[in-house]
Chains A and B, each alone.
Chain A
Amino acid sequence: MSAAGAGGSAAAKGAAEDGQWPLWEVFTQGAQGAPHEHAGSVHAADAEQALQNARDVYARRGEAISLWVVPSSAIVASTPGDAGPFFDPGNDKAYRHPQFYKVPRGVKGL
């Protein structure tokens, strides 16, 4: 969590130092029912402007049917130091994967 705090304040400090507006993360949904996926980021003074800038930068070629924008400072991220305890223990526990079932033919999207 300290990492997120540091990231957030670094972003805020960066905004002041490079004269840019606050940073927003952009998520685009490509089709009905599909997940919103991270597309990139934009600078904007507020949420409405972030949405408009996201539209202009990430959705002007018909890539999206829906957009989310989130202040970058609201993202809580793991750090490289977390990688060992967070992710490695899962590697040798094959029983956590649902791979012992047969997928019926014709089922998509699993």
Chain B
Amino acid sequence: MTTIPVAGAREAAIERPLFEALLRLADDRLVLGHRVSEWCGHGPILEEDIALSNIALDLIGQGSALLRLAGEAEGRGRDEDALAYFRDETGFRNALLVEQPNGDFASTIARQFLFDAYSVLAWDQVQASTHQHLAGIAAKALKEDKYHWRHSSDWMLRLGDGTAESHARAQRALDELWRFTGELFEGDAVDAAARGGGVPLDPPALEARWRSMVVDVLERATLRVPADGPSTRGGRKGRHTEALGHMLSEMQIVARSHPGATW
């Protein structure tokens, strides 16, 4: 199952755990932010369009700040733009959940809801970082993500406990996305090494609290908690679903067509 290039990538990852750990944090937010930004101009009503665009901007801002730190940790002169626009699909370390296409509004909200609960808990850990700049990003991002969670969990309640159609769509979205949630709570040697390097994130330790946050809302939304089947994973190692390649080709084309352009 483990191919030689993957093993090679893994060894390299352990050599530079801080860079890898920062990429994981950054890419989750950059990719999800880009996905949510695809709603700009297409929201169901003007106010929701603005809400989604705000959330997208928050996430892209977090991703950008984290990529800058990652570039510094790497020490090869890559800035946030180089990392965002000139890495290929296999270089991205985001969880598979966040690259899934928007689908209908219920899918977008369910994806956001599942991620927000995780992200609030993750930032709560990371804000204790000894890396002063990272701790600052985490403290600011925690406030932003608490608001995102309020927005997405409120919508889950509305959709789940709304009409027969909104309930069915919300349930279908949850059922489709659930298999991607296990990956968020995987721990590996990179995390362990990065904890020593100033990124106090311990994903497996977050799972129980994530579950209680999510289940509490789903119960009130009259939605069924999907059964835990086999989880789909690979994003943290650079193995992605086909959705990411299509998204990156759109996200990166301007920067790649006009390298170094300013405006």
Q: Is the CB of A42 within 8 A of B47?
A: yes
Residue of B nearest to A24 (CB): B47
- Report whether B154 and A48 are in contact in the complex, using a CB–CB cutoff of 8 Å: yes
Chain A residues in 8 Å Cβ range of B48: 53
Q: Is the CB of A57 within 8 A of B47?
A: yes
Which of B46, B54, B154 is the one whose CB lies under 8 Å from A49? B154
CA distance A45 to B157 in the complex (A): 13
Contacts of B151 in A (CB 8 A): 52
Are A45 and B47 in touch, CB under 8 angstroms? no
Q: State A78–B158 Cα separation when bound (angstroms).
A: 36
Asked if A20 is at the interface of the complex by the 8 Å CB criterion, the answer is yes
| Residue of B46, B54, B150 touching A60 (CB-CB under 8 A) | B54
Q: Are B158 and A45 in contact (CB under 8 A)?
A: yes
User: Nearest CB to that of B155 among chain A residues?
Assistant: A49
Q: Which of B45, B50, B54, B158 has the most CB of A within 10 A?
A: B45
Q: How many whole Å from B60's CB to the nearest CB in chain A?
A: 15
B147 contact set on A, CB distance < 8 A: 55
Min CB–CB distance B62 → chain A (angstroms): 16
With a cutoff of 8 Å between Cβ atoms, the chain A residues found around residue B158 in the complex are: 45, 49
Does the CB pair B54–A20 fall under 8 Å? no
Q: How many A residues face the partner with a CB closer than 8 A? A: 14
Please, which residues of chain B bring their CB within 8 A of the CB of A52? 51, 150-151, 154
Q: Is the CB of B154 within 8 A of A56?
A: no
Which of B45, B46, B47, B54 has the most chain A CB atoms inside 10 A of its CB? B47
Interface size, B (range):
10 to 19
Chain A residues in 8 Å Cβ range of B45: 20-21, 43
Given A20-B45, A21-B45, A43-B45, verify A53-B51 contact (CB < 8 Å): yes
What separation, in Å, do the CA atoms of A75 and B226 have in the docked complex?
45
CB distance from A36 to the nearest CB of B (A): 20
Q: A20-B45, A21-B45, A43-B45 are in contact. Are A57 and B50 (CB under 8 A)?
A: yes
- In the assembly, what is the distance between CA of A42 and CA of B51, in Å? 12
Residues of A30-60 whose CB lies within 8 A of B: 42-45, 48-49, 52-53, 55-57, 60
How many whole Å from B91's CB to the nearest CB in chain A?
33
Given contacts A45-B158, A48-B154, contact A53 B47 (CB under 8 A): yes
Do A56 and B150 form a contact, CB below 8 Å, given A42-B47, A43-B47?
no
Chain B residue nearest to A20 in the complex (CB): B45
How distant is the Cα of A52 from the Cα of B45 in the complex, in angstroms? Answer: 14
- Complex CA distance for A49 and B159, rounded to whole angstroms: 13
- Smallest beta-carbon distance A109→chain B, Å: 31
Give every chain B residue within 8 A of A57 (Cβ-Cβ): 47, 50
Q: Is A44 a contact of B47 with CB atoms below 8 Å? A: yes
A60–B46 CA distance with the chains assembled, in angstroms:
15
Encoded as 1 (CB less than 8 Å from any A CB) or 0, chain B from 141 to 158 comes to 000000100110010001
List 7 A-B residue pairs with CB atoms under 8 Å apart, sorted by A's residue number.
A20-B45, A43-B47, A49-B158, A53-B48, A53-B51, A56-B51, A57-B47
Residues of chain B at the chain A interface (Cβ within 8 Å): 45-48, 50-51, 54, 147, 150-151, 154, 158
- 6 A-B pairs besides A49-B154, A49-B158 with CB distance below 8 A are A43-B45, A43-B46, A52-B150, A53-B48, A56-B54, A60-B54
Name the 5 nearest CB pairs between A and B, nearest first.
Answer: A53-B47, A56-B51, A56-B50, A42-B47, A56-B54
